[in-house]
Structure 1
Amino acid sequence: NQKLAGVAEAQAFAFSPPAIPGIGTSGGVTFMLEDRAGKDPTFLAGQTDKFLAAARKRPEFARLFTTLLPSVPQFFAEVDREKVLKQGISLTSVYQALQAFLGGAFVNYFNQYGRVWQVYVQAEGEFRTQADNVGRFYVRNGTGQPVPLSTLVRMREVNGPEFTTRFNEYRAAQINGLLAPGFSTRQGMRALEEVFAQTMPRDMGFDYSGMSFQEQVASQGVPATAVLGFSVLVVFLIMAALYESWTLPFAVLLATPIAMFGALAALWLRRFELDVFSQIGLLMVIGLAAKNAILIVEFAKVAYEGGMPLVDAALEGVRVRRRALFMTSFAFILGCVPLWTAAGAGAVGRRVLGTVVIGGMLTDTLIASLFISVSFYVSERFRREPEKGRLPDAVPAPISGGTNGTASADGKQP
């Protein structure tokens, strides 16, 4: 963009494609600044320049640009209605001639080579390069005589917007923001809303389009923290049903926060934001960390129930399953290396996903596995302690002869 900014003949810039193809026209934030008072394009252009001047001072954005061009040189074809009516010519004929020769008009379809083709009529390019060429085009008057359009139409130069964008039925200016490294789209959206509240009058409004609109709608629903918490709860309930215990699943889930810490640390080291790709990666890390913990806890539980002491069973689970745990974990990590080093279109999303998964799995494999045996020992010890402290059930003493509270034959106590 710095090199393109030096081009004086054109306004050129580069921007990233949308994260989901077909939703929006670019990545980053798509902000629609609306003129809700229905004023002229000059008013909207002035407010847009004012808004951009204030928004470009915010650190959340690396670049802000708009597609609104309010002063594009144009030619306005002013039709003299009195002359047209005096000549016995219909206004429709004049407008159709201008459209057909200068802009192009659709005629019909025709079939050729097994395909359907469209037919358009238009003057050759050399006859449309100058506004004075309108005199070379003719329409017929009421008597059938050709009349040049230059006697009926006056071409004058004006300045105005190249096209008018309408959003929610309001005249609007589309503003695209490319985020600076280390800032999320949600932070950029909040920054634009703060700038709008500080600089814009009541006649103006705003809305979002594309991926920004989808993110705004999603933020009004279930937050990402609730989704992550619910996924952990589901894993806990499945483990509780599997082991028939409310304490043993904690031995499995202890690896989850450690793995998530490693994933977030990897994101911070590579200066990536916590976006939707990283959240998907965190969900994967939760499941993979639970899978690695199950490999150790399951074997330790079987050994303990087979009669092995609790400490020995916890250590035996780590010793026996360590090789399988390292083999599966590092095979998965190496398979995610292409995501870590992705390049090309959409590479940022793949890099974020690979960073989260590799960071979380490395931390889980090298650090969290050391604490799984300890958590297994603590959870089983906590579960067994209430059973050891419980008083045994009372057993009645054996009764022999007529003693110990029994009556003799004469009905007297011995």
Structure 2
Amino acid sequence: FGLRKNQNTFKGSRLTGIGFSLVDKIMSLVGLATRNWMTRIATVTVLTIFSISLAVFLIPKMEYLPQGNRNFVFSIMVPPPGLSYKERKEIGQDIFHSVNPYIDKDYKGLPAIKEIFYVGADRFMFVGTMSKHEQRAGELLPLLSKTINSIPGIFGVTNQAGIFQTRTGGGRTIDVDVSAQDLNTIVRVAGTMFGMIRREIPGAQVRPVPSIELLYPEINIIPERDRLRAAEMSSSDLGIQLDVLLDGRKVGDFKQKGQKKVDLVLKASDKDFSTPEELYNALIATSKGKIVPISSFARLERSTGVTQIRHLERQRTISLQVTPPKTISLEEAMDVIRDKLVPLLKTKGMLQGVNIKLSGEADKLTQTRGAIQWNFILAAVIIYLLMSGLFGNFIYPLVVLFTLPFAAVGGFVGLKLMNIFIQPQPLDVLTMLGFVILIGVVVNNAILIVYQALNNIRNYGMEYREAILESTRTRLRPIYMSTFTSIFGMLPLVVVPGPGSEIYRGLGSVILGGLAISSIFVIFIIPSLLMFFIRMEKIGSAK
């Protein structure tokens, strides 16, 4: 027992000796950095320029929210106009036949399909699948995409649903809204933008809403204004009567006590008209009380158009829903569209009377980024005011806050190491929250050094440089003890995989990197910077 105790004592003393030796080496570097005003300026300048340059080099493009690994892969297809029910049913049967070998069993290295369904509507078709292996659902993307693209005349996009996705076709998308008054101009510009996006962002999925092809048959009833004027009617009067004959028009409402209000709608019977010609020859009443056919006041024209007319800010709009590949961030794709493609269309003279706006997740990303930046500034201001009250001084809190840029650099370093050695992790909104959290964490180390230095001067009568060096020496152990316990405590958040780890992994890597890097820089930056301002303190008498 005595021999074992002596061995443990020897090991402990050896580790203690290594610790003291390491402290001496660190303090020799700190002493060199604070030797005179030139070394202090050089230390602060070099480390600041180095950190800013590293941050500019490492800062990645942003995402909005983590995609996660949701067990749902879907395809949205745009069919050609005029497909019958039988043809839509046959398309669904072909899809089921193509993926049949993968249902309920692994096949050719791909996970088994647990569930699959198909919706064949007039204007769009939808296929959704779920895998038996929840973590491998994304591997079904190439299979479903190849199956959809092999169908003649069908255009479709295939994506994996995100964990925060709330609508079909939403998720990690950029909505490029092309608006104008003339529909033909919108279709031409949207079609050109469609091709440019697919060329400049390889692998991007682009879905037009509605279709960018004027292939869908439609009937236009064009008012003859002279004939309407002779009958003392206007185009609006004719439009109201057509509303009554087709979809119906609200003429009032009815409400019983204690019940909801019910709209009263005037509408013709659906059995009255089965063809455009029957509608064109339908009888209507004029303001003079005469009964005449619609053909007396308008002409019938057949043409083609889009499936629906969408409006944005009272202008006709076609939206291109762009989903970038995983290798390209949302912000990077936004920059390509906004800074490269839109100016290119302007130089070609195609945007006269046309407005292009980025919305959807792109708009949310811009708004959220601005909100987080203001939250970052607000947190720094609150901490500054709090420290000003505690220190009784407005200068020392600025010295403490000077460590924040180095923590930010550490956050980017941690995120970069995460991408290299563990798993790709974008800079999304949840990851950005890590930088806000760092504000309240990394200032603690600087506070320890500043407070103890002031204590050494006021209560122990030490000379300024001696007080700062002694403060740094005595605070090395608590600084690195708290840093290492925090790092190893949060390390499982970063290195341990599992369902949902995409949500908190980026946050953890930013905090770990910020803590690690700031704990290194703070030992040299704070003493060097504090030497310029601490001389305002009056040296007290030693107790």
- Structure-1-length-normalised TM-score: 0.61
2:475 corresponds to? 317
Question: 1:137–1:149: 8 Å Cα contact kept in structure 2?
Answer: yes
Name the SS for the 1:115 alignment partner. Answer: coil
Question: 1:109–1:118: 8 Å Cα contact kept in structure 2?
Answer: yes
Compare CA radii of gyration and give the structure with the larger one. 1
2:192 corresponds to? 50
**TM-aligned CA deviation for residue 74 of structure 1:** 1.1
1:189 corresponds to? 338
Question: 2:399–2:530: 8 Å Cα contact kept in structure 1?
Answer: no
- Write out aligned runs for 1:1-40 (5 A): 1=75, 3=144, 6=149, 13=157, 28-35=173-180, 40=182
Query: Aligned partner of 2:329: which letter?
Result: G
**2: distance between equivalents of 1:11 and 1:359?**
40
Question: 2:409–2:514: 8 Å Cα contact kept in structure 1?
Answer: no
1:264 corresponds to? 412
**2: distance between equivalents of 1:247 and 1:89?**
79
**TM-aligned CA deviation for residue 200 of structure 1:** 4.0
Number of residues paired by the alignment?
Answer: 372
Question: 1:29–1:189: 8 Å Cα contact kept in structure 2?
Answer: no
Question: 2:415–2:510: 8 Å Cα contact kept in structure 1?
Answer: no
Query: Aligned partner of 1:208: which letter?
Result: K
**TM-aligned CA deviation for residue 67 of structure 1:** 2.7
1:208 corresponds to? 357
Query: Aligned partner of 1:256: which letter?
Result: L
Give the counterpart of 1:359 among 505, 509, 512: 509
2:251 corresponds to? 107
**1: distance between equivalents of 2:430 and 2:337?**
17
Name the SS for the 2:246 alignment partner. Answer: helix
**TM-aligned CA deviation for residue 189 of structure 1:** 2.0
| 1:288 matched to 2:433 | no
**2: distance between equivalents of 1:163 and 1:230?**
46
- Write out aligned runs for 1:386-405 (5 A): none
Percent identical pairs in the alignment equals 15
Question: 2:494–2:506: 8 Å Cα contact kept in structure 1?
Answer: no
Question: 2:223–2:299: 8 Å Cα contact kept in structure 1?
Answer: yes
**TM-aligned CA deviation for residue 109 of structure 1:** 1.0
| 1:159 matched to 2:341 | no
- Residues 75-96 of structure 1 deviation map (CA, whole Å, 9 limit, x = unaligned): 2346789999999999887654
Name the SS for the 1:74 alignment partner. Answer: strand
Query: Aligned partner of 1:110: which letter?
Result: F
Structure 2: stretches of 5+ with no match in the other structure: 1-74, 76-140
Question: 2:207–2:320: 8 Å Cα contact kept in structure 1?
Answer: yes
**TM-aligned CA deviation for residue 319 of structure 1:** 3.2
**2: distance between equivalents of 1:91 and 1:44?**
26
- Structure-2-length-normalised TM-score: 0.49
Change (3 A) 1:140 1:384: closer
Question: 1:296–1:321: 8 Å Cα contact kept in structure 2?
Answer: no
Name the SS for the 2:187 alignment partner. Answer: helix
CA RMSD of aligned residues (A): 5.7
Query: Aligned partner of 1:263: which letter?
Result: G
1:408 corresponds to? none
**TM-aligned CA deviation for residue 287 of structure 1:** 3.2
Question: 1:262–1:359: 8 Å Cα contact kept in structure 2?
Answer: no
**TM-aligned CA deviation for residue 238 of structure 1:** 6.5
- Residues 52-77 of structure 1 deviation map (CA, whole Å, 9 limit, x = unaligned): 22232112882334335433211234
**TM-aligned CA deviation for residue 102 of structure 1:** 1.7
